[in-house]
């Protein structure tokens, strides 16, 4: 009887992953040659009169791993008490085309998104942060809080959300050691004190303004994944040293960069590097400790592949491509 293809669920992914290990895997992956076809977006909800999208992302790399991710995005699920993102990741052996494993795509996405942000922050931060601010209390907020606590070890993390009760539920669910976690009541004041800020919202209008930001701070823009979504205002983008996860994705999909480019507020030359160049270290970073940096991400298939390979190899204790 044939064995069924193994599936690694969200709980198992969480049990075997640490952000420190995942950042190391991302660093190693960024040194490899990848093939990264443009991701495909499909507006599948028009037929049903709802806001629903399907994304397909593919990647393969030098060590003969290849993978695909299919995720669905249903923004209105938030009002139903359901996750707005669900998906599956499939990992293959590139030498034979053999399927190796399926993984929970939403959990893998959350972990790799936070890990990529921490990697960029480690490259760009003027100094280790004492105060961190997370803006937004959706699914990603708890991953970012845990990632900051594990990787950056700040004294304090503040969480701000328009719906205070939702933020309070996130804070009540967290258990951190050595880092104080609390609610920010005044967003502008919290931004002014923060050394690092991550925005993980689905906002269509800016929630973060350049005139609020502390000199030397690092801003991580995560939530906006469409050209019509904004988390930062034009002044912030104009003043910042800008870095991106990938040029291809950000220039096409990220409203925080796409809109200022379209209106001539910045040019493509103002984007200093992508994550590959940033980790390679052959580009100039912040000019002084008073500069502030922006890292804009929309997610990249090489990140998913790195995370899936790490989980798969850990689950198989190094016996990564058994032919059983």
The predicted-structure confidence for 154-172, as pLDDT tens digits, reads as follows 999 999 999 999 999 999 9
pLDDT of 286: 63
Span 235-282, pLDDT tens digits: 999 999 999 999 999 999 999 999 999 999 999 999 999 999 999 986
Regarding whether 237 and 200 lie in a shared domain, the answer is: yes
Examine the pLDDT at 6 and tell me if it is beyond 80: yes
What CATH number is associated with residue 45?
A: 3.30.1780.10
Q: Which residue has better confidence, 211 or 289?
A: 211
Span 171-202, pLDDT tens digits: 999 999 999 999 999 999 999 999 999 999 99
Residue 26, domain member (yes or no): yes
For the residues 89-107, what does the mean pLDDT come to? Answer: 97
Regarding whether 217 and 74 lie in a shared domain, the answer is: no
- Neighbouring residues of 266: CB distance < 8 A, sequence distance ≥ 6: 237, 238, 242, 257, 260
Strands (E) in 196-261, as ranges, are 196-199, 218-221, 241-244
Regarding whether 207 and 149 lie in a shared domain, the answer is: yes
pLDDT of 89: 98
28 burial class (0-12, 13-18, 19+ CB within 10 angstroms)?
middle
Span 37-81, pLDDT tens digits: 999 999 998 889 898 999 999 999 999 999 999 999 998 888 888
Instruction: Give dist(CA 66, CA 34) in Å, integer.
Output: 10
What CATH number is associated with residue 168?
A: 3.40.50.720
Instruction: Give dist(CA 275, CA 130) in Å, integer.
Output: 24
pLDDT of 1: 53
Residue 324, domain member (yes or no): no
Residue 149, domain member (yes or no): yes
State the angle between helix axes of 105-124 and 19-30 in degrees (0 to 180), rounded to the nearest 10: 80
Q: Which residue has better confidence, 323 or 318?
A: 318
For the residues 194-217, what does the mean pLDDT come to? Answer: 95
Q: Which residue has better confidence, 84 or 293?
A: 293
Domain count for the chain: 2
pLDDT confidence band for 82 (50 / 70 / 90)? confident
Examine the pLDDT at 320 and tell me if it is beyond 60: no
Residue 321, domain member (yes or no): no
Mean of all residue pLDDT scores within the chain: 93
Instruction: Give dist(CA 270, CA 260) in Å, integer.
Output: 11
Regarding whether 116 and 60 lie in a shared domain, the answer is: no
SS3 312: helix
Residue 1, domain member (yes or no): no
Regarding whether 184 and 133 lie in a shared domain, the answer is: yes
Residue 320, domain member (yes or no): no
Regarding whether 291 and 177 lie in a shared domain, the answer is: yes
Span 280-289, pLDDT tens digits: 986 666 666 6
Regarding whether 41 and 136 lie in a shared domain, the answer is: no
Regarding whether 218 and 69 lie in a shared domain, the answer is: no
Q: Which residue has better confidence, 2 or 212?
A: 212
Regarding whether 147 and 94 lie in a shared domain, the answer is: no
Question: pTM value?
Answer: 0.94
Instruction: Give dist(CA 98, CA 101) in Å, integer.
Output: 9
Residue 2, domain member (yes or no): no
Find residue 295's DSSP bridge partners: 220, 243
Residue 277, domain member (yes or no): yes
Regarding whether 69 and 151 lie in a shared domain, the answer is: no
pLDDT of 323: 45
Regarding whether 264 and 217 lie in a shared domain, the answer is: yes
Instruction: Give dist(CA 101, CA 6) in Å, integer.
Output: 5
Domain of 58 in residue numbering reads as 7-108+302-315
Tell me what percent of the residues of the chain surpass a pLDDT of 90. Answer: 85
Q: Pick the closest to residue 305 from 58, 37, 113 (CA basis).
A: 58
pLDDT of 288: 65
Regarding whether 71 and 149 lie in a shared domain, the answer is: no
């Amino acid at each position: 009887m044939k064995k069924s293809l193994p599936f690694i669920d969200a709980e198992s992914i969480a049990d075997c992953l640490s952000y420190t290990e995942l950042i190391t895997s991302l660093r190693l992956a960024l040194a490899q040659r990848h093939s990264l076809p443009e991701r495909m977006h499909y507006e599948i909800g028009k037929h049903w009169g709802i806001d629903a999208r399907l994304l397909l992302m593919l990647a393969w790399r030098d060590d003969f791993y290849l993978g695909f991710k299919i995720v669905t995005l249903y923004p209105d699920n938030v009002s139903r008490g359901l996750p707005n993102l669900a998906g599956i990741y499939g990992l293959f052996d590139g030498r034979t085309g053999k399927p190796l494993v399926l993984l929970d795509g939403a959990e893998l996405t959350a972990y790799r998104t936070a890990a990529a942000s921490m990697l960029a922050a480690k490259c760009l931060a003027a100094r280790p942060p004492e105060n961190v601010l997370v803006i937004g209390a959706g699914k990603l907020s708890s991953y970012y809080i845990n990632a900051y606590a594990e990787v950056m070890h700040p004294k304090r993390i503040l969480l701000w959300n328009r719906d205070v009760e939702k933020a309070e539920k996130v804070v009540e669910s967290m258990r951190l050691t050595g880092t104080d976690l609390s609610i920010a009541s005044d967003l502008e004041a919290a931004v002014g004190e923060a050394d690092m800020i991550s925005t993980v919202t689905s906002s269509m209008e800016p929630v973060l303004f350049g005139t609020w930001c502390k000199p030397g701070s690092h801003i991580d823009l995560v939530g906006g994944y469409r050209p019509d979504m904004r988390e930062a205002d034009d002044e912030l983008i104009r003043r910042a040293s800008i870095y991106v996860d990938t040029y291809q994705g950000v220039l096409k999909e990220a409203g925080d960069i796409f809109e200022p480019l379209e209106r001539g507020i910045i040019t493509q030359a103002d984007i200093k590097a992508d994550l590959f160049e940033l980790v390679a270290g052959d580009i100039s970073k912040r000019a002084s400790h008073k500069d502030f940096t922006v890292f804009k991400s929309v997610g990249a298939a090489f990140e998913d592949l790195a995370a899936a390979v790490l989980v798969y190899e850990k689950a198989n204790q190094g016996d990564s491509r058994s032919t059983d």
